Structure 1
Amino acid sequence: MALFKAGGLAATLKKRRRALTAIARAMRLFVPMCADVLSGRYRPVPWPAFGWMALAAAYLISPLDLIPDVLLVIGLVDDMVIVGWLLTRVDAALADYRRWKGEGPPAAR
């Protein structure tokens, strides 16, 4: 497996940089966005972001998984991949909020 070769992990992370950046950005912006929506400072409400985040939380909490967590490593990787993908969807749904906050599009950063 390429991951276990010399530099394999670094190369894999470099390839996944865009997704990892989107996940981190979604996690960093979601709570402040909720506060801005609840206080009425930000409208319209980004319902898709709430939906994707609810799905991510439900998948983490739910005992039903694509691959059971009993299969330790594979089950946990399954959770990370699916929740990571859902968080990239949250990030995409927060694009207008990022512009409103003055952070600009991801490519300009």
Structure 2
Amino acid sequence: MSKIDKETIRKEHKKRQDDFEEEDIDDVLEDEDAIKSKFENKGKLQRYLDDAVILFSLLKDYAKGNYREVPFNVIAAIGGALLYVLSPIDLIPDFIPIIGYLDDAAVVAFCLNLIEKDLITYKLWKKKKV
């Protein structure tokens, strides 16, 4: 099993982010229920469920053209992280009891930290729209 540290998580997320393209947004949105179910039911990921809801909201608003105030690399960071959670093949395979989702949670946390300012701006925009 790979050693999981901040640098390993950063590299893994960067790879997923770099591979993410605009047409991949639809794939993430199509898998929303499957991805959210992992957040709802899997230990360390549960603490990020509310964040996942906001991330999906941002992706939807971006895809519909309602909110384009973020650079695409932010969308790619979100999409890459969410697809990482869905993937059974990652740094720590999901089927390993107890620790199988630690890397997923770490990738999501890394992504949230990376896009924090853009996420705050989006939340403020969203609040005004209500």
Q: TM-score when scaled to structure 1?
A: 0.49
Larger radius of gyration: 1
Q: TM-score when scaled to structure 2?
A: 0.43
